[in-house]
Structure 1
């Protein structure tokens, strides 16, 4: 959730997916009526510290942390909301006032608060007492969310025991105070919504979601024999494949296996976000991989495919559509296809929040692959087209060369080069290349003045900068590999590397046979300071 979307919500009127509530010193008494009704209907957003007319009056700064703590604790209390649904509210400063935002997905379960079921309409929250209305709510959930299918013969011993420590470690690394950490394994599964009672059939037990998340491989194959993720590389051999990974295991391990396939075949990019160096590849594809896992319709036999091509990664999986056509990231309404599985992945830290995937991939793809846009296509199958670059360093060299040649400033001493508007070919995708240029030029000038390196021409500066960008893009390269990417002789590259090492820009790590070149911490720190 961004602050821009908060401002957008404040301009809207209350409706079926939006509720404002005043909460100056404590939680409103009827808050969980709205939480329950939104979970039972279409999900939505609740803003605390706002009047019915959208006027921001704020939550008292001295009480806001306690309000948030009470909200989280009560959402995990089955006496307040049953089954529990842990929320993770966020606070925002709007002008001089603090408000609290609660984002709620549609739930695949029917929730009660104080033993009462609530539903939602444009007029607000209303109690459901009539037996026919209650049955309609249960049938609506049962029809749309097959992850809740109960398997009475699925027992705890059918789950992989080694997954439980892994799950707890992931939860702990994401939130050390998470309430699930205090529960035993069976209670954790119940609280996560993986055990339920089907009030329509009277059956009770673990669900399809439980089997998919935690089941042993042979159990999953018996319950859903058609389930698989087919990951392919089609760059050289486009008719068949260059490499293939066939996944038929639980969703926790499937995520890790598919991310490993991504890391094996796709280049990474150096990127500074605030003052942190992040992996663009990981940031983008953690969202893509999580999306195809948590939003798939698993009763459909259509296989999930993940195809790495020369210019794009294309994914396709079975879908229970909530609309048709290309999704506009600025206008779409997030709608989880498997809310229990999605919620579980949020608790593990593998998904940020509902709807964040489309927004994050759209934003970061521009940094990763230039101006080509990611596409998300809703239909009976859900498709994603994510732009990538087959040979990242070649494009970086071209981009640096164009930028340097265009950006030479007349009259600058010693040929210091500066960038103009970054060309499309910048494959690192942002202001990082101009920063590299500025830092390297400054250090070269200092080195010449101090006698650490000989004087260098503009062409030599350009080639040293290209080498630094190549190594930033893929650390651990040998001299011969840098030579091929730079398209310069080994002798020339070795001469440039010698200068870079003298300035503490590059270092060689590992044995002479298996080692390669890496940027130094000194250079990384200089980049961050100049960002």
Structure 2
């Protein structure tokens, strides 16, 4: 969370989705009441170091910050403190020289209790509804009816999951947090910690959920549980009646994500920029949001196949949806609604999605940099659509790149069969005329300019060539060994 957003929340004051605690010398005893209430209702922010009476920033004592953060993380993963456990990630922000701890708690698709008590939330705070059977039943039914990811399959066993995926997700989680709790858990404990094992409150049956099967199940298990599950990746640029390329993906969501990102990388060009001094791959960051949305926020029980379609002037996705409105989404004035909170939380733990609602904002941000002037469309309805405008020349660049690579290979192969390789020709030409450009060299040798640049890069790495001065006005130094 940024300091600007924190100040805006403080100014807004407490409500259904915002709670302040002073927590100057330790975590408030009722902090987990609020966490439980947020999980059971519609999510929200718990902010520690704020006086709830006058909204002043009082801060948390510096020597207590780490203790409080540790208390939240370990407590959220302790079924005696929060049941079922839910992994949470507090943030520490310095404001006016004072340290404030912020914690975003998403809405959960399960019912949670703390110290054996179930809390719900409204404008006035957290309410213990444990002994109100009607309210508890309504809460369970609302969760069960709203989130098909919670459907329980009592006969799915640990052996029905793809064993290699557990190591993969642990590795991804370690990249995000070196001491992630999953690293110390066995496979069964990891599934339970991630909320992928639960009890059906209608039947009393216990088992792994649909979310568990979709995230980590073997292909055979997924097809048995959800035979229609698939994601279609299509390129339709030249052959608009059918397709130029296609990947029919019928596997778990982890490998589906990797295949979709590879498909995008195959057909759309990379572009880079510097953000805060760091080199950023705009294509990958943009489509990370698009692919994550396609896989996470969809209604899996409907047989409508999810699609990612690359066309000559746009990329669009479609997936079946439980709409909470209709028409185009305004990025400034919209309320994100979690479609599959357990799956979304799992993707967040491995670094493939961010906080709920950030995907729309990030898409606008990265698209403007990737293709200036383009505006994405998010359209809510029974079918949720995202349209990313891409100029035809962008796709032409990719096709051109492909033909250049083929030409490059052919030219280099032909050169090497002759009496002199391309690299040797470059050295010979630069000895005679050391200010030749890549374009000049390409004309002399008869290969593409791109192939020349590749050869020059290799010669520089081998210490045979060195550039003196700038690109314009400089010259090449041939290093004899």
- With the length of structure 2 as denominator, give the TM-score of the two structures: 0.83
Decide whether the 8 Å contact of 2:269 with 2:397 is kept in 1.
Answer: no
Segments of 5+ residues of structure 2 without an aligned counterpart are 399-432, 460-465, 471-481
Instruction: Give the corresponding residue for 1:365.
Output: 367
Worse-matched range after superposition: 307-316 or 62-71: 62-71
2:168 is aligned, of 166, 169, 175, to 166
Worse-matched range after superposition: 280-289 or 317-326: 317-326
Distance 2:300 2:445 in 1: 53
Instruction: Give the corresponding residue for 1:262.
Output: 264
Moved over 6 A (4+): 393-396, 492-498
Instruction: Give the corresponding residue for 1:22.
Output: 22
1:491 is aligned, of 443, 454, 458, to 443
Alpha-carbon RMSD across the aligned residues, in angstroms, is 2.8
1:310 is aligned, of 299, 309, 312, to 312
Distance 2:321 2:79 in 1: 32
Count, aligned residues: 426
Which secondary structure state, in structure 2, belongs to the residue aligned with residue 289 of structure 1? Answer: helix
Which secondary structure state, in structure 2, belongs to the residue aligned with residue 508 of structure 1? Answer: helix
Distance 1:213 1:95 in 2: 43
Distance 2:384 2:95 in 1: 37
**CA shift for structure 1 position 66:** 2.2
Distance 2:326 2:49 in 1: 36
**CA shift for structure 1 position 178:** 0.5
Distance 1:3 1:246 in 2: 44
- With the length of structure 1 as denominator, give the TM-score of the two structures: 0.75
Decide whether the 8 Å contact of 1:150 with 1:205 is kept in 2.
Answer: yes
User: CA 1:211/1:61 → structure 2, altered by over 3 Å: closer, same or farther?
Assistant: same
Instruction: Give the corresponding residue for 1:62.
Output: 63
Instruction: Give the corresponding residue for 2:420.
Output: none
User: CA 1:361/1:152 → structure 2, altered by over 3 Å: closer, same or farther?
Assistant: same
Decide whether the 8 Å contact of 2:374 with 2:390 is kept in 1.
Answer: no
1:76-114 deviation per Cα after TM superposition (whole angstroms, max 9, x unaligned): 111110001111011222222221111111100000000
**CA shift for structure 1 position 208:** 0.5
Instruction: Give the corresponding residue for 1:472.
Output: none
Decide whether the 8 Å contact of 1:280 with 1:368 is kept in 2.
Answer: yes
Distance 2:349 2:445 in 1: 48
Which secondary structure state, in structure 2, belongs to the residue aligned with residue 59 of structure 1? Answer: coil
Distance 2:385 2:59 in 1: 41
Decide whether the 8 Å contact of 2:318 with 2:385 is kept in 1.
Answer: yes
**CA shift for structure 1 position 387:** 2.6
Which secondary structure state, in structure 1, belongs to the residue aligned with residue 42 of structure 2? Answer: coil
User: CA 1:267/1:297 → structure 2, altered by over 3 Å: closer, same or farther?
Assistant: same
User: CA 1:393/1:83 → structure 2, altered by over 3 Å: closer, same or farther?
Assistant: closer
Instruction: Give the corresponding residue for 1:71.
Output: 72
Matches within 5 A, 1:117-266: 117-128=118-129, 129-266=131-268
**CA shift for structure 1 position 388:** 2.7
Distance 1:173 1:200 in 2: 39
Instruction: Give the corresponding residue for 1:4.
Output: 4
1:52-94 deviation per Cα after TM superposition (whole angstroms, max 9, x unaligned): 2322111122322222122111111111100011110112222
Question: Does residue 91 of structure 1 match 2:92?
Answer: yes
Question: Does residue 327 of structure 1 match 2:329?
Answer: yes
Which secondary structure state, in structure 1, belongs to the residue aligned with residue 16 of structure 2? Answer: coil
Segments of 5+ residues of structure 1 without an aligned counterpart are 397-451, 457-463, 465-478, 511-518, 524-531
**CA shift for structure 1 position 156:** 1.1
**CA shift for structure 1 position 497:** 7.5
Question: Does residue 287 of structure 1 match 2:289?
Answer: yes
User: CA 1:80/1:394 → structure 2, altered by over 3 Å: closer, same or farther?
Assistant: same
Distance 2:292 2:396 in 1: 30
**CA shift for structure 1 position 352:** 2.4
Distance 1:62 1:333 in 2: 37
Decide whether the 8 Å contact of 1:49 with 1:98 is kept in 2.
Answer: yes
Worse-matched range after superposition: 277-286 or 260-269: 277-286
Distance 2:455 2:91 in 1: 42
1:435-461 deviation per Cα after TM superposition (whole angstroms, max 9, x unaligned): xxxxxxxxxxxxxxxxx976x9xxxxx
Instruction: Give the corresponding residue for 2:34.
Output: 34
1:326-364 deviation per Cα after TM superposition (whole angstroms, max 9, x unaligned): 222223222211111111111111112222211111111
Distance 1:339 1:82 in 2: 16
Distance 2:183 2:373 in 1: 43
**CA shift for structure 1 position 389:** 3.9
